[in-house]
Structure 1
């Protein structure tokens, strides 16, 4: 079906398919490349946010921990706790308010530079209790109540230096939720003399996920070293295992995708493990929010490329229609040609290449018509005799005349290059056919080679580079006719075959030690090892040039022209010739011929 379409539609459909394929490939590459960049930027931003929140969390925990360290390093507090007597069920700090006041003043001095944001609680080894805070909501509790607190039980016998308590109800005020750090206060003998607890309201964790430049609160989760959720700021449900991933145990930072089984939403979880503490921030972002910019990008890409494709199609249709209009006109004119008139009905006002082609075609038709008339007259008179004469007496001058006609036609059309080509080819034919005694001079042979290379350079345009450098002392040296041209022709037939241009050919003539040499070097394929060996064997055998088996092998190896040249050179110089051939180190072949100087 496609073959039956007009050339205009074939051209239009072909270019349309090419443009469509290019747009499809380019749009796909653009979408995936930009999409990956957008997704990477979003993930990197989320990673940076998680790292920033993690650093803020570590800063809060560090402030609390440093405060407990300062208390543990205080000689005043340690001496007080170490020398404190057991007052039974009476609270020592209530019984001796002066001591309590001195302790409060000391704690105030520790927090003077950085105002206390939570509560400091000091507990002696006898469960005496005193707190220091800026909130008057401390409830009255007994020493027995203090002994029943879980962190007091664990802290009084732990071997650890500190305990991190996840968010829990505030046991001192029974109001709100706090998280705290508990540090056993040990003397120089490593005996626990009491505990210090520094607690912050859980609002400090909530503020970590709030940013001034964001209108909504980020979804965040805090897990401990055992990957237990200790805090979250949104509804996770009872089963929180869907949040966890094996990467939390192996990687220092990263992200992974999870799906909430309750609402079916997918999230990207970003984490960044702490450097000094065991609490890790998990930052959750709805996967649809991350993919939304990518979906927008995909829609814009599809719309943009469809618009571009539509514009291209319209422009291409108009262009192909206009560019093929002269072809359609020429086609109609050619179809309308008949043998009676041989005239084209053309509108020659367009002045483009197709119009000039049509004019040249019309000129050819006119010449054909004239030749047809001559042929009809000639055939009516002497058809049989004339045909036999043409077949039996093909005169080489016909070729010369034909080349002369072509050259004249080139002049007529203003193409001097065609005329020169015909003149050079005519001279080469004369040189080839006129064998006389089969001998010439290097001057004449080089002129013949120059014309041949000139024609080949016109044929191959910029692909061929050649250079001829002949010592003038060689001009009058005798040489068999057509010695150099077959060798150079062999380079084009075999040496440059399947070789990427530019092709470089050098012809150099010189005199050395009373002998003349002509060296032909190319950058082609070079000789095969088998061909070199076969030629060398044939040269050593001397009289083997006339062996029919040798010519069969030479022809099979592509060396028929070379062996013919070597044979004629051998007989011309009666064995005193020089014939060398080998591959150049940088690639290509070198053929060197020579003979003795003739006075």
Structure 2
């Protein structure tokens, strides 16, 4: 499958997943928004009904405050609490004070706004605002036998709300249900003021806009004041102590998921808990699934179109690059590749391929030059264009004569020389490890010692960690040979050559030094100049380097090292207090140098 097709299919799958997720989250957003609206509606309904109820109770409190703010009425109440202890003695005063109280509470305001306003005391005095037949008061009622009065006594003038109950003052046998706001008049047994409203009035106040909503009203003590007829308040006691909130939850008592709203009145401390079946609350609300599917589909179609467009746009430069790759041959390696694209990655890829072609062309040139230099190094080693097989045959003849003459030294010399020839003339491997080079150099010094005997001395100190690093064949021997051939002219002292190999700061180094006469300033300048010319011709002019056979072993070695290590090569020539020194090295390689460099 083509990259373009894979790109489209891959991103199409991603677009499908993104569309599904987008649709899911959009649907979730709609559900949350609708749920928030449901919560807000429940909260608003609860607050409106509770405010209406509180407003009605405040009217009842206002009626009580109006009576107590009337100084004449308040004085009459006080006088009655004293004078009714001896009614015969204070009969006329009692009649006047009762009349004052009755006339005061018997007002149009009280008659229109309340079912009944009642003032009574411990002596059985009862005054009511009612004159209609069904609201007449039974004056024989014993005040302190009223069951709920115990909740009012000792409240120190606080308004107490009494839940719906049978009318204790009714003269008729059929007693209506009322709820009351009662206040104990502060003083020494001054009595009570009670403002009543009917249960029907309460039901009207607590009528919810939605018939499916039911409610429970708690008084300031947390007791149930009122509950909807079809609602069992015991099933909701677990919610009575919760803070004001709106939530939906499965009721553990009836197993029904319900929408609950809890609201507390700021003026009276009453709490209203509204209840609605969750299914009823959400029945008229769309879940948004169809909208989410439509939006998700539109998103997918748009995304797919964009993906196809971008896939074509992105792969067009890659197609052009592929066509250029297919046309690449040895004859056009240096041709410049131009791909029209503003994309930085495509430009980088094009540059990388162009650079690859340049490196390939350079590598081919290096291969050619290295082959020439390797042949020259072999010729330098032999010092003449002599057929190696002829030399092997001659060595065998000499070795045979040595055996006939019982001369083991001649046999060893021939063996060492044959080993050196095999190593230096072997064209299968162009490189050697430092370990192999040291072995070859030791064989070379064995032959030298055979000539100079004790006048030649070789000292070697080699770090084992660098012995597997790669160098050109015969490189170390050629440098050591220069020490012998050029470092001891007209010298009768012992010729000492020291080879020291070590690693330092990520590089490996080999120092080859002697105790001879040194390079000299003029020779150093000439050699450094030749190395600079060779490097320039190799890398800048990219021309072949023709070196004479013999006399140029040091430069030959430098160029071959340069072809392997390029700018990382370290190659120094210097004079020391004892003689001359050649230092060369490079970065430590982890995988070595490949044969086709």
- TM-score of the superposed pair, with normalisation by structure 1: 0.48
- TM-score of the superposed pair, with normalisation by structure 2: 0.48
Greater relative contact order (CA < 8 Å, ≥ 6 in sequence):
2
